[in-house]
Amino acid sequence: MPSGYSSPAPSYLISGNTLTPIGLLNDAELILGGPGGGSTTTLYNLNGSMKMHYLNANGVYGNMPSAYDFGTDTGETSQGVAVAWSQSDTANLNTGPSFL
C-alpha cells in the first residue's frame, strides 16, 4: 500500500431480520465443509475448536448470545466430525460421528 494509505472501516451486517439482495440470510457461519458446489469433505483426524465473538456497542468482544448448530445458506457439508459444546462457549471438534 502507498505511504499514508488508510483503509476504509470494514462493515458486514449480520441480522436475523433482513436478507441480502439475492435473498440469502445476513448471517455468519463457521463451517467445516467441502470446497464448493455442495460437496462433502470427510475428516479422518481432527482436534480443534471454534469460537465466534461479536463486537458489542461498547467496543468489547463478547460471546454470541444465541446460535444455531446448522447453516442455511451453505450447501457444503462434512462427515466424521464430533462436536461438543463447552462451558466456555467453545465448540470442541474431534473425529467421530456427525449428528444433525
User: Could you tell me the residue ranges of all domains in the chain?
Assistant: 15-95
Please give the model's pTM, rounded to 2 decimal places. Answer: 0.66
Name residue 7's amino acid. Answer: S
Residue 35 has pLDDT above 80, yes or no: yes
Q: State residue 93's pLDDT score.
A: 94
Of 1, 2, 91, nearest in space to 47 by CA: 91
